[in-house]
Amino acid sequence: MGYRIDYEAGNPKAAGNPRSWLCLAAFSIFLGLVIRFWPEGRRAVAEFLFPGGSEHACQAAEVFARDLSAGIPVREAAEVFCRDVFSGAGIP
């Protein structure tokens, strides 16, 4: 006696729910408008995304981009970026 399990291709939950994509798009547009047209909001978003000093996180992002353009593998560059952001936030 044997059992056979057939799995459907893809994720039917995500495919059948376009609202999740709409919410993501609306949030991205809102975030873009806040960053572009509201300087205090830009600082608030940066502080929310990178606690402990957004200037340090921006410098880490520049180093990340430089490392990627220099040909360093993405995994290593991402590790260095995360380590820099965490150290700037005071997270051991």
Q: What is the pLDDT of residues 10-50, one digit of tens each?
A: 655 555 667 777 888 888 888 778 777 887 777 777 777 76
Q: Is the pLDDT of residue 69 over 80?
A: yes
> CA-based angle 12:21:39, to the nearest 5?
155
- CA dist 69 and 36 (Å) reads 26
Which pLDDT does position 9 carry in this prediction? 64
